[in-house]
Chain A
Amino acid sequence: AQTVTQSQPEMSVQEAETVTLSCTYDTSESDYYLFWYKQPPSRQMILVIRQEAYKQQNATENRFSVNFQKAAKSFSLKISDSQLGDAAMYFCAPYGNSGNTPLVFGKGTRLSVIA
């Protein structure tokens, strides 16, 4: 079973600044992946970044990076140089490597970007 907690229902950031969205999770699987999804006002779900739990190196995709703390089961998303287009709901989701359990999403964090 997998559970996800996103403790920040809403966050805001000034344009060009940096913001960090938090996520903690629990999983019964020994090998797993972690995803951050973005849902802009269009409501299309977009994969932002993917982390393999067995890798110690934190994943990076352009302005998006993660801080993965496996022992603490923490998977935060850092957005650098925030842009107006980053305004969206952000969802964290663990995925067990067995493939037997579908993605379970957190309740999301709504990010506002202030010009």
Chain B
Amino acid sequence: SQTIHQWPATLVQPVGSPLSLECTVEGTSNPNLYWYRQAAGRGLQLLFYSVGIGQISSEVPQNLSASRPQDRQFILSSKKLLLSDSGFYLCAWDIQGARVGYTFGSGTRLTVV
């Protein structure tokens, strides 16, 4: 069966520190991968998506970046965090053409202090 893992679950980081959030998918090949951010009590904002290794599309240019070093691994990074980077980060996947919706990870709650 397919599963998605996202870690860490919670993170508290000081302003100006680096960030690395990781997401991996098991049980499938060549998934589409997505990073969303959700501010407290608000909707989901698409940050990045990837349809293949090394292929990253950015929806919201800012001090975040994403990489896909392996087929089923998606990493969200920042060199220097801002207070405004605080939020709930969700990774998701689907298969091109499947049309069954996305499967989401359990999320990472990031607090920048």
Contact = CB atoms under 8 A, between A and B. Distances in A.
Interface stretch (B23-31, B38-46, B71-79): B38-46
B104 A107 contact: no
B43 A44 contact: no
Contact of B101 (A47, A108, A110): A47
Interface of A, secondary structure class, is loop
B99 A103 contact: no
Interface residues of B, number: 25
Contacts of B34: 102-103
B46 A102 contact: yes
Contacts of A52: 99
Interface of A: 33, 35, 37, 42-45, 47, 50, 52, 91, 95, 97, 99, 102-108, 110
21 contacts: A33-B101, A35-B101, A42-B106, A43-B109, A44-B104, A45-B92, A47-B100, A47-B102, A47-B103, A50-B100, A52-B99, A91-B44, A95-B99, A103-B46, A103-B101, A103-B102, A105-B36, A105-B43, A105-B44, A107-B43, A110-B41
Interface of B: 32, 34, 36, 38, 41-44, 46, 49, 59, 88, 90, 92, 96-97, 99-104, 106-107, 109
